[in-house]
Every structure is written in structure tokens, then in C-alpha cells.
């Protein structure tokens, strides 16, 4: 996916809630501080892709608009959480092939009509995963890692710092773009920051247990209903 998912910055408390889980007092150094920055990024990316799950939380934007997301994603292609666009918070469930979205009536009315919103009611709407790049990326473990760890160019590094409460190496791609990698414990990405565009995303709770409940068919309507005005 082109790197177009940008935003307004995540509240510090949201980042701290995740980042604080990735390093505890007394955890040994990860041994990456003396490595070249490209090696650090390669190791952190490989470590991330080897995990079974991740918790993603923060702000960004995409063609659908600015968003705040809080998603728990599994490597097997399943994920669940929420994405907020403007005043509307959507519950989102992703599977390897589909997206399930549950939103307020006002959101569905804005997408189609009052009659369609009434037809949907409290049910989930199912979409083919390829139909919405923004939600598909945010609901995908692989999509998130490819998108947010895929900055091109050769980074420089700053050691001895912290991203909020977490000791981390900062990999600097430009004055605006940084990826922070934990310098204690397993070297894993902690935070992706793009001050030029406002993206600020925390990654944490790696390989934690993530339960995903796919909506039952009786509670689902197909996205084709949105074409009905």
C-alpha cells in the first residue's frame, strides 16, 4: 500500500499504555545499540513478523479521512478493534478474506441513505477485504507491518533515549520520520512517528492472546445493500 495513511498524532497516554508493556525494569539490554541502523531495522522487522499478534493504537489518515484506531491483530489474518472517523466509531473485524463493520446509523446514512441505515440497523456489514484499502490495512497484521515499517532510505540512529517510558533506539529516516525500537528485551518496534504528516502509532503487547469473534451470519448484511439509495 502506498504510504498515504497519515494523521494528527496520538495522545501520549495511548502510546504509553502500549509502550510500557514492552519493557520492564530489570530487563536486559537487547544488544542492538551498537549495530548499524539498517541492521537494527532489519532485526526489528524480522522479530515483529515472527510474533503471533500485535496491538496497534494511534492516529493516522487515509482516503476515507483522519482516523483513530485501536486494533488487536493476529498473524493468521484475523483482527478486531475499532476505527474512528470523525464522530463515528466503527467496530471492525477482519478475516483473511473479509471485513465486518458495525457502525452507528448516522455513519451508514452518510454512506448511503436513511433507508439503508434503517435496513442495516444494528447488524454488521460484510465487505470483501480488497474493497477498502484503509480498513483492510488496519485490520491486517501483515498490512500494518508492511505499511508502517516499510519506510525506504537508510536511517541514522539515536541511542540512549526513550519513547515515553520505554528505553529505545530511534531510527531516523528524515527530520520528520522515526521508528523506535526497544533497546531492552526483544528488539521490537515500539512507535512509528511522522511529525511532518502527523502519523503517530504505538505497537505493543506482541504475541499476546487475541480473541476474534467473527459475527454470525444472522447478524450480517452484505455490503451490496449500500448501493441502494
Instruction: Report pLDDT digits (tens) over 40-49.
Output: 999 999 999 9
Burial class (CB in 10 A: 0-12, 13-18, 19+), 223: middle
What is the gyration radius of the CA atoms in the chain, in angstroms? Answer: 19
* Pairing mode, strands 156-163 and 166-172: antiparallel
| Cβ contact 77:95 at 8 Å | yes
- Assign 14 a pLDDT band (cuts: 50, 70, 90): very low
Confidence at residue 228, expressed as pLDDT on a 0 to 100 scale: 62
**What number is the average pLDDT over the span 206-211?**
97
DSSP letter assigned to residue 17: H
Coil, strand or helix: which one is 221?
strand
Burial class (CB in 10 A: 0-12, 13-18, 19+), 153: exposed
- Assign 15 a pLDDT band (cuts: 50, 70, 90): very low
> What length is written for the chain?
229
Query: How far is 171 from 156, CA to CA, in rounded Å?
Result: 6
* DSSP states along 65-110: EEEEEEEEEETTS-EEEEEEETTEEEEEEE-SSEEEEE--HHHHHH
- Note the helical H segments in the chain: 12-19, 37-50, 105-111, 114-120, 133-138, 141-148
Confidence at residue 62, expressed as pLDDT on a 0 to 100 scale: 84
Query: How far is 30 from 19, CA to CA, in rounded Å?
Result: 16
| Cβ contact 76:96 at 8 Å | yes
Cell output for 216? 454470525
| Cβ contact 79:71 at 8 Å | yes
CATH number for the segment(s) 12-227: 2.50.20.20
| Cβ contact 79:212 at 8 Å | yes
Cut 0.75: pTM above it:
yes
More confident residue, 44 or 9: 44
**What number is the average pLDDT over the span 78-103?**
96
- Which residue ranges make up each domain of the chain? 12-227
Amino acid at each position: 500500500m502506498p504510504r498515504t495513511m497519515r494523521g494528527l498524532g496520538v495522545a501520549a497516554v495511548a502510546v504509553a499504555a502500549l509502550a510500557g508493556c514492552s519493557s520492564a525494569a530489570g530487563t536486559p539490554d537487547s544488544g542492538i545499540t551498537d549495530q548499524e541502523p539498517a541492521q537494527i531495522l532489519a532485526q526489528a522487522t524480522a522479530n515483529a513478523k515472527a510474533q503471533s499478534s500485535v496491538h496497534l493504537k494511534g492516529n493516522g489518515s487515509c482516503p476515507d479521512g483522519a482516523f483513530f484506531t485501536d486494533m488487536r491483530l493476529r498473524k493468521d489474518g484475523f483482527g478486531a478493534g475499532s476505527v474512528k472517523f470523525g464522530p463515528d466509531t466503527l467496530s471492525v473485524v477482519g478475516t483473511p478474506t473479509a471485513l465486518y463493520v458495525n457502525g452507528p446509523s448516522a455513519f451508514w446514512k452518510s454512506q448511503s441513505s436513511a433507508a439503508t441505515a434503517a435496513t442495516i440497523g444494528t447488524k454488521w456489514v460484510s465487505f470483501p477485504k480488497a474493497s477498502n484499502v484503509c480498513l483492510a490495512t488496519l485490520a491486517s497484521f501483515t498490512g500494518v507491518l508492511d505499511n508502517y515499517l516499510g519506510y525506504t532510505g537508510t536511517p541514522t540512529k539515536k541511542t540512549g533515549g526513550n519513547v515515553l517510558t520505554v528505553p529505545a533506539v530511534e531510527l531516523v529516516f528524515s527530520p520528520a520520520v522515526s521508528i523506535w525500537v526497544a533497546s531492552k528485551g526483544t528488539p521490537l518496534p515500539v512507535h512509528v512517528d511522522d511529525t511532518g504528516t502527523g502519523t503517530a502509532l504505538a505497537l505493543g503487547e506482541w504475541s499476546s492472546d487475541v480473541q476474534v469473534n467473527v459475527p454470525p451470519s444472522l447478524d450480517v448484511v452484505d455490503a451490496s445493500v449500500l448501493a441502494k439509495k
